[in-house]
């Protein structure tokens, strides 16, 4: 029996891996029809569930109630999924304002009728204050049930559903004219109940599992407590490299700083101009400073000293092929390099050439085109939205640049103010009349406050954003962690091989460094949360920052009893921060999409990232154990203790991963009407869960009791984590992809 279960345990992840690859090349409908929705696939899961429970009963695991309930919960979840697959119904209904609808179109193409009527009263797109960025989509409907005489008015929005007689209605889309709305419909009264009951039972059994004195987790914990280990800290420092260059012509730093405290509409939100200046400078040269000039000085330098800045080698061209086509020798180009001697714009011809000869370099040329366009729009007065204008036809107000077409009903005096203010400031800059420049900045700030009032960020939020812009770059911490973590990890392994003790002060030094790093990450995450208005877990950069935070948080409690965790935690922190900064050193802060306005998002991301950190710890500890095993003849006892510690971390990692997946399922059910959609990210998270759950069954599969097998498996298994987080994002895509 156990061999059949093991075969299915290996076969199911292989099928899921093949399905995600096929989906990439043949599309979602084909895979949904021939794999995920096929009877043989359902039978595969059913056989595994029934066989697994039979084996659980055969081993008399009912004598260990929490372990038994845990397996029962998994079977109950699968039973709920089967009920949904067999008897549930999903579809969509198109509503137009004032018209009654009594049926919906199912995903299979048939029409089903509600036992009630639905009328769309109004549809509203709610926006963030002072912007036109959508914050929520709201359908106000009336449900009339003639059979019971029941009448209900309800608002349906993202993460806010309407339920009546077993039918669940979700906001899905809307018509371009704003007078129609599309709702998703789900009718699954039994499947959802079974599945949620399984989730609750799973959580209860996981909590009780840690109390089971007969579990391998408790035995591993006792074995680990009796072990001793040492750690070392190697601190290194490198001098910063500076390059000599002539300083470009810029505004005085204090004037540029005052300019940076003006408000601007940028990236769908209202923020200090300093933030837009940092994004501008980062886009052009890959850094938030240029030759000693701050981001505000760079931005205003292009605005007021264009003739000087167009000759500076500032625009970074990443591809050598693109540089060759443009005729640029160095890594950085000037604005003049984009125009030939005949005055012809080079990028269009270069793009055509690269698309036929070196397609891989075309992306870098496109980035160069974006840089050129960004500078051009700034200098033409089209990029900086500094002027909020409220007219009779627009009571909310929109933000405009001084060269934008203005509303037709704008007051003449206000129109002159918008059109002429920046030109007047440029005249005063040319005359170096800095007192008048300060006065102009103050007048513009006063105008912004008068126009937008409460729609502007409050003073505390502005201070937090300015502070975050100054201290929020975590890339230096990444380099320091790697400089400390890599040598420490290697030397800890060496000390364990040679049986050498390390001085306690070095251990204390590493603990102090980890504590300071944790405080710094807490500080930056808190600032980013204050600025964005939501917990910073909404994109790839932020989740990697959270993973770095968790790595140091988990390191501190384990350092004293298992000091190898210190090197592992610092190294993991450095690697995750380095990955976070690969695309940009500090990605832009943007408002949340409407669907992400849910507290379940925060819990889902935090729990999943905590699981990934623990799995990274298990991998690095197993790697160290393998190094010790193959370099020291009598390392058996040490390797066994490291296996015990790895197992102590693996159990909560698997439980957290399962909990995170199911929190995500509940969130998906609230937002989209389905708790599982076989998205590549979901599927690979499930694959990772199945892969790491296998070594927890060492009582049935004795190979995992051997330390070398356990450690080798944990090192190889981490590939599934890398594929789940990175491979899906950049290779498979899907709804959860951060690659875009």
Residue 673 has pLDDT above 80, yes or no: no
> Quick check: pTM over 0.75?
no
Measured CA to CA, the distance from residue 9 to residue 45 in angstroms comes to 10
SS3 call for 169? strand
pLDDT of 127 > 60? The answer is yes
Contact (Cβ atoms closer than 8 angstroms) between residue 572 and residue 617: yes
Higher pLDDT, 389 or 633: 389
Residue 342 pLDDT > 50: no
* Region of poorest pLDDT, from 67-71, 223-227, 237-241, 588-592: 237-241
Exposure letters 478-493 (e unless 16+ CB within 10 A, then b) = bebbbbbbbbbbbbbb
Provide the percentage of residues in the chain whose pLDDT is more than 70. 83
Looking at 102-111, 219-228, 264-273, 667-676, which range is the least confident one?
Answer: 219-228
Region of poorest pLDDT, from 252-256, 597-601, 603-607: 597-601
User: Which region among 573-582, 586-595, 683-692, 712-721 has the lowest average model confidence (pLDDT)?
Assistant: 586-595
Q: Does 322 score more than 50 pLDDT?
A: yes
Query: Given this model, what pLDDT does residue 276 score?
Result: 92
Q: Cα separations (Å) of 95 from 101, 102, 194, 243, 509?
A: 7, 10, 31, 63, 65
Q: Do 331 and 353 meet the contact criterion of CB atoms below 8 Å apart?
A: no
> Does 490 have pLDDT greater than 80?
no
Closest CA to 648 of 68, 70, 223, 71: 223
Q: How far apart are the first and last CA of the chain?
A: 46
Strand partners, 552: none
pLDDT at 452: 87
Query: Residue 67 in contact with residue 77, Cβ under 8 Å?
Result: no
Q: What is the mean pLDDT of residues 249-253?
A: 91
Q: What is the mean pLDDT of residues 238-246?
A: 35
For 495, 613, 672, 697, the CA distances from 623, given in Å and listed in that order, are 15, 15, 41, 21
pLDDT of residue 129: 62
Q: pLDDT tens digits for 390-416?
A: 876 566 678 899 988 888 888 888 999
pLDDT at 421: 92
pLDDT tens profile 72-97: 899 999 998 899 888 888 889 999 99
pLDDT of residue 689: 93
Average pLDDT over residues 23-28: 82
Higher pLDDT: 328 or 266? It is 266
pLDDT tier at 341, thresholds 50, 70, 90: very low
The tokens for 99 are 């018209």
Mean pLDDT of the chain: 81
Length of the chain: 740
pLDDT surpassing 60 at residue 652: yes
The rounded percent of the chain whose pLDDT value lies above 90 is 23
CA distance 677 to 668: 9
Sequence-distant (≥ 6) Cβ neighbours of residue 545 within 8 angstroms: 474, 521, 524, 525, 536, 576, 577, 580
If you search the block for the tokens 């209904």, which residue do you land on?
93
Confidence of residue 431 (pLDDT cuts 50, 70, 90): very high
The closest of 362, 365, 371, 244 to 314, measured between CA atoms, is: 371
Q: Are 85 and 192 in contact (CB under 8 A)?
A: no
Mean pLDDT of all residues in 477-490: 84
Most confident region among 142-146, 307-311, 690-694 by mean pLDDT: 690-694
Yes or no: say if 620 and 572 are a contact pair by the CB < 8 Å rule. yes
Cα dihedral 49, 51, 57, 61, rounded to 10, equals: -60
429 pLDDT tier (thresholds 50, 70, 90): very high
Mean pLDDT of 179-197: 89
Q: Which residue has the higher pLDDT, 133 or 690?
A: 690
Cβ–Cβ under 8 Å, residues 230 and 628: no
Cα separation, 5 vs 44, whole angstroms:
11
348 pLDDT band, cuts 50/70/90, is low
Give the DSSP per-residue string, 427-440: HHHHTT-HHHHHHH
Nearest to 638 by CA among 491, 492, 486: 492
Q: Which of 49, 44, 48 is nearest to 15 (CA)?
A: 44
Question: What is the pLDDT confidence band of residue 222, given thresholds at 50, 70 and 90?
Answer: low
């Amino acid at each position: 029996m156990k061999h059949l279960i093991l075969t299915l345990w290996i076969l199911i992840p292989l099928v899921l891996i093949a399905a995600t690859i096929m989906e990439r090349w043949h599309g979602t409908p084909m895979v949904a029809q021939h794999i995920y929705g096929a009877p043989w696939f359902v039978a595969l899961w059913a056989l595994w569930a029934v066989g697994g429970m039979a084996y659980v009963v055969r081993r008399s695991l009912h004598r260990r109630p929490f372990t038994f309930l845990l397996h029962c919960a998994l079977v109950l979840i699968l039973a709920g999924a089967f009920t949904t697959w067999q008897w549930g119904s999903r579809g969509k209904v198109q509503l137009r304002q004032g018209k009654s609808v009594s049926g919906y179109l199912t995903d299979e193409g048939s029409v089903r009728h509600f036992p009630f009527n639905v009328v769309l009263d109004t549809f509203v797109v709610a926006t963030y204050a002072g912007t036109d960025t959508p914050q929520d989509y709201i359908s106000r409907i009336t449900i009339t049930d003639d059979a019971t005489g029941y009448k209900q008015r309800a608002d349906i929005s993202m993460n806010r559903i309407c339920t009546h007689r077993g039918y669940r209605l979700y906001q899905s889309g809307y018509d371009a004219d704003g007078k129609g709305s599309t709702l998703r419909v789900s009718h699954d009264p039994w499947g959802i109940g079974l599945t949620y009951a399984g989730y609750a039972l799973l959580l209860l059994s996981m909590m009780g599992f840690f109390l089971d004195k007969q579990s391998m987790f408790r035995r591993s914990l006792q074995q680990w407590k009796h072990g001793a280990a040492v750690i070392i800290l190697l601190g290194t420092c490198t001098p910063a490299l500076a390059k000599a260059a002539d300083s470009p012509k810029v505004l005085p730093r204090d004037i540029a700083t005052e300019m940076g405290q003006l408000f601007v509409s940028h990236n769908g939100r209202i923020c200090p101009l300093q933030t837009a200046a940092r994004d501008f400078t980062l886009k052009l040269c890959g850094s938030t400073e240029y030759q000693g000039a701050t981001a505000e000085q760079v931005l205003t330098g292009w605005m007021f000293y264009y003739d000087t800045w167009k000759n500076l080698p500032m625009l970074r061209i990443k591809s050598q092929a693109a540089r060759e086509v443009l005729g640029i020798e160095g890594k950085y180009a000037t604005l003049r390099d984009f125009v030939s001697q005949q005055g012809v714009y080079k990028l269009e011809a270069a793009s055509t050439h690269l698309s036929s000869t070196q397609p891989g370099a075309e992306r870098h040329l496109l980035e160069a085109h974006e840089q050129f366009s960004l500078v051009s729009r700034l200098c033409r007065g089209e990029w900086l939205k500094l002027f909020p204008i409220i007219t009779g036809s627009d009571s909310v107000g929109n933000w405009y640049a001084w060269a934008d077409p203005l509303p037709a009903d704008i007051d003449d005096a206000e129109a002159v103010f918008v059109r002429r203010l920046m030109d007047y400031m440029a005249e005063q800059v040319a005359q170096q009349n800095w007192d008048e420049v300060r006065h102009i900045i103050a007048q513009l700030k006063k105008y912004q406050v008068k126009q937008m009032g409460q729609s502007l960020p409050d003073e505390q939020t502005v201070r937090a954003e300015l502070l975050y812009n100054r201290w929020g770059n975590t890339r230096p911490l990444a380099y320091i962690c790697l400089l400390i973590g890599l040598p420490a990890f290697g030397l800890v392994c060496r000390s364990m091989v040679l049986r050498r003790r390390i001085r306690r002060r070095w251990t204390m030094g590493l603990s102090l460094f980890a504590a300071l790093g944790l405080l710094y990450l807490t500080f930056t995450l808190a600032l980013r949360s204050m600025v964005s208005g939501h917990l910073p877990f909404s994109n790839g950069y932020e989740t990697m920052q959270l993973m770095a935070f968790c790595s140091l948080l988990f390191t501190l409690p384990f350092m004293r009893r298992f000091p190898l965790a210190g090197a592992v935690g610092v190294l993991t922190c450095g690697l995750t921060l380095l990955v976070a900064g690969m695309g940009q050193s500090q990605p832009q802060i943007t408002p949340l999409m409407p669907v992400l306005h849910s507290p379940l998002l925060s819990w889902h991301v935090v729990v999943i990232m905590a699981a990934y950190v623990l799995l990274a710890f298990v991998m690095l500890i197993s790697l160290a154990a393998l190094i010790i095993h193959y370099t020291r003849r009598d390392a058996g006892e040490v390797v066994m203790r490291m296996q015990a510690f790895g197992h102590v971390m693996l159990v909560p990692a698997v439980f957290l991963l399962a909990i995170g997946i199911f929190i995500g399922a509940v969130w998906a059910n609230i937002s989209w009407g389905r708790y599982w959609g076989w998205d590549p990210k979901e599927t690979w998270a499930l694959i990772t869960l199945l892969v790491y759950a296998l070594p927890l069954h060492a009582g049935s599969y004795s190979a995992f009791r051997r330390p070398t097998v356990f450690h080798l498996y944990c090192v190889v298994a981490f590939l599934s984590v890398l594929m789940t987080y990175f491979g899906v994002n950049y290779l498979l895509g899907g709804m959860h992809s951060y690659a875009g």
